[in-house]
Copies of this chain bind each other. A is one copy, B any other.
């Protein structure tokens, strides 16, 4: 680690000290190195300071930001929604109705997806329960797929 960076930031707090290389950040947050670079590229993460040899150096606040992103991704929020949520986070006096709306929309999506997958599950189960492990000529799986009458949108 370059002493120059340390010296220049001698009065920095822990949250502000840029001394964590990208590999450490990846291990700390569980987000892969290329993904971290990707988030920087699309503006979701600020470009970090660099060492003399051009290596990225992160601070604890970057780790916190990345953890927020990761958590939101796990909940299925898309990157644009996360962008909005993070912007809101930086305006404590703002109404939280937008954040609420984003989360509600996501919940509705999840509920819709569950419903659709459940219907799908039933269809697949029906397909499989008639399957006697015989020949293709009498194969239920192939038969159902080939039967246009079974297409749900026709």
- The size class of the interface chain A forms with chain B is 35 or more
Cβ contact within 8 Å between B120 and A110? yes
A residues 129-147 touching B (CB-CB < 8 Å) = 131, 133-142, 144-146
Q: Which of A38-46, A47-55, A96-104 contacts B (4 or more CB under 8 A)?
A: A96-104
A124 touching B136 in the complex, CB below 8 Å, given contacts A96-B142, A117-B113, A142-B96: no
A133 touching B95 in the complex, CB below 8 Å, given contacts A70-B151, A120-B75: yes
Decide yes or no whether A78 CB sits under 8 A from chain B.
no
Cβ contact within 8 Å between B128 and A121? no
Main secondary structure of the interface of A (DSSP, over half): helix
A120 to chain B, nearest CB (A): 6
A137 touching B93 in the complex, CB below 8 Å, given contacts A114-B117, A117-B113: yes
Interface residues of A (CB under 8 A from B): 30, 64, 67-68, 70-72, 74-76, 85, 88-89, 91-97, 99-100, 102-104, 106-107, 110-111, 113-114, 117-118, 120-121, 123-125, 127-128, 131, 133-142, 144-146, 148, 150-154
Given contacts A85-B141, A91-B136, A96-B140, 16 further A-B contacts (CB under 8 A): A30-B153, A64-B146, A64-B148, A67-B151, A71-B144, A74-B151, A85-B145, A95-B134, A96-B135, A99-B142, A100-B133, A103-B124, A103-B128, A107-B121, A107-B125, A117-B117
